[in-house]
Structure formats: C-alpha cells, structure tokens
Structure 1
Amino acid sequence: MRILPLTLALLATPLAAQDRGSPLIDYSGFRELTAEVQPVRSERLVSLAQFKARAAQPDVLVLDARSAKAFAEGHIAGAVNLPLPDFTAESLAQVIGANPDREILIYCNNNFTNNRRPVMTKALPLALNIQTFINLYGYGYKNLWELGEAVDMDDPRVGWVKSI
C-alpha cells in the first residue's frame, strides 16, 4: 500500500512543523521573524522631523501600505501606495526598485491622532506599521525607518494631501 508510508511520514512530522494547517503557512517562522525584527524596529523609530528630513533625501521611498481607498482619501505627500495584502516579492520589487538596500520610510493610521477617515485608529497590537515592518524586513528590505510618533494629520508639518 502506497498510502501507508505517506501516512506514517506525516504522523512522524512534529505538530509544530505542520502547524496543523496549510503547508504554505509557517507560523513558527513568523514568530522567529518577529523576534528578529523587534530590536531592529525599536531602533528605527523616528520623529516627524527626522521622517520628513529623511524623506527629502534622494532615492528614499515613503511607502504607505494602507488600502488604495484610504491612500486616495489622504496620505503624506510623496508617498507611494502598495496595500499590505498586495505584498509579494514581485510587487515589492516593482514599487521599491532593484536596490534592496533602498531606504524605506513607513507610517500608518496609528501615527495620526485624528481617528477619522482615512486614518481610523487600529487596535494597538494590530497597527499596520507592525505588519508592514515585519513583511518588508522578511522580504529582504532591511533599510527601514518608521514614523515613531502620533501626530495630527492636519498639522502642516505632516504635508497631508488628498488624491480625490
């Protein structure tokens, strides 16, 4: 019987490795990645003034990973949009370019105190910055910097613009 060796092989595989789900999902790998990212991210949080100064440098990318609709309703001037659900190796390379060491600045809803469209505050542990930073880092983009404070999107220093 050919089924028996496969069944025995699956039973011998530790449950942690299987994660009892799709073989295309690696929760243990995600936990390892987040542990690696945590100290890096904590050193890469910048003030609004630092964020704006970095954004003004040549070849620096300001990436907004919110939905296309939220981006169109308002974003930091000069930002480009690639929604987090659309992150793949290919889509990131297309937006970021060929240089994986390119400096990337990120921000999300939870960087703004307004709590109104298009920056509705997310649950703190689910702030989009966290997932965006982890995903970019995991795809090999490690020159990441994150807006590390909460500001009013109506503050002229932010440079908020609307596409619609």
Structure 2
Amino acid sequence: MRKALLVAAALVATPALAQANPQIDYPAFQTLTASVAPQRATRLLKFDAFKAEAAKPGTLLLDARSKDAFAAGHIAGAVNLPLTDFTAESLAAVIGANPDRPILIYCNNNFRNDAVPVRMKAAPLALNIQTFINLVGYGYPNVWELADVIDMGDPAVGWVKG
C-alpha cells in the first residue's frame, strides 16, 4: 500500500511527465472543452427539430459510433465515421469542402433501449460529448446534437436494422 502511495505521489509531483509526448496536449484539450461548452449548450435539438433539420438538403447526419454498432442499426440517412477514425482527412472526406455544413449528431445515450446496438454509456462519457468537441476542434462549428432520449422502436425515429 505504501509503495502504491509513493508511486502515485511521484506521478502527481512530476507534471513534466504528463506532457512528455508532444503529440498529446491535455491543457489544450481542457481549453477547447471549456470553449465548446457554451456553444454546445445552445446546440441541443428536440427530436422533432432534429428530424426536420436532418431532412434539409446539405445537412449531414453523422453517427460516430463503431462500425459494428452502426451496421447493427442506425437512424435512416445517417453516415458513419467512428470517433476513433476522426482525422482532418477522414472528416473532410465525409463532411465535404464546406466547414460550415450543418452536422447533426446522436449517440447511444439518446436511446432509452439500452440494448444492442445502443448500449448506454456512463453519462459523463457519452459519445455526443467527445464527438461535439472533436468536430469543433477540427474546425466544424455548425454541430447540432439530439437532446432527447428516444426509443429506437418508435417508427418516427426511422431506425434501420442491420
């Protein structure tokens, strides 16, 4: 136990180790997250508004869940790009040349079913949060998020089974 406490204390006492990798910038992530929070708070759409926006020409309905989860089921019209595959290049290929294109997102936690393919995540780790932050961080400011908890079995959802 004492050894574990000493190791933990050493890690806390050496912040330089936390920034040893120049390709990981946690302070910049914290800054980005703080700057995105007020914008995200104004970009939550009730289901009816979400569906209406998704039907507009040029709007992208993006599903950032895994390829397997997407293949097992998704909202009709959605395009899949897993969050783990986000890069500047992959996002540009899916979103297109217009960085202001409206992008609608949803995740597992938008469904009350808590069943495959939409198993619920811990609320602070819901995929919408990371997806929203990443899209804005990559330069796509026109992101909108489904605010409601819906049932994938509701015909109004337009759920497509894989």
Runs of 4 or more above 4 Å deviation: 15-18
Moved more, 153-162 or 86-95: 153-162
1:110 match: 109
| 1:14-70 Cα distance to aligned partner (Å, 9 max, x none) | x76773331100000000000000010010000010000000000000000000000
Q: How many pairs does the alignment contain?
A: 149
8 Å Cα contact 1:84/1:132 also seen in 2: yes
Q: Larger radius of gyration, structure 1 or 2?
A: 1
Q: Give 5+ residue unaligned stretches, structure 1.
A: 1-14
Percent identical among aligned pairs is 66
1:89 match: 88
Give the Cα separation in 2 of the matches to 1:81 and 1:38.
Answer: 24
Structure 1 residues 102 and 16: CA distance shift in structure 2, 3 A: farther
Give the Cα separation in 1 of the matches to 2:15 and 2:35.
Answer: 19
8 Å Cα contact 2:110/2:148 also seen in 1: yes
Structure 1 residues 73 and 38: CA distance shift in structure 2, 3 A: same
Q: Does 1:120 align with 2:145?
A: no
Q: Which amino acid aligns with 1:37?
A: V
1:48 match: 47
TM-score normalised by structure 1 residue count: 0.88
Residue 119 of structure 1: CA displacement? 0.2
Q: In angstroms, what is the RMSD of aligned CA positions?
A: 1.2
8 Å Cα contact 2:105/2:144 also seen in 1: yes
8 Å Cα contact 1:46/1:147 also seen in 2: yes
Q: Which amino acid aligns with 1:116?
A: A
Give the Cα separation in 1 of the matches to 2:15 and 2:104.
Answer: 35
TM-score normalised by structure 2 residue count: 0.89
8 Å Cα contact 2:75/2:158 also seen in 1: yes
Q: Give 5+ residue unaligned stretches, structure 2.
A: 1-13
1:9 match: none
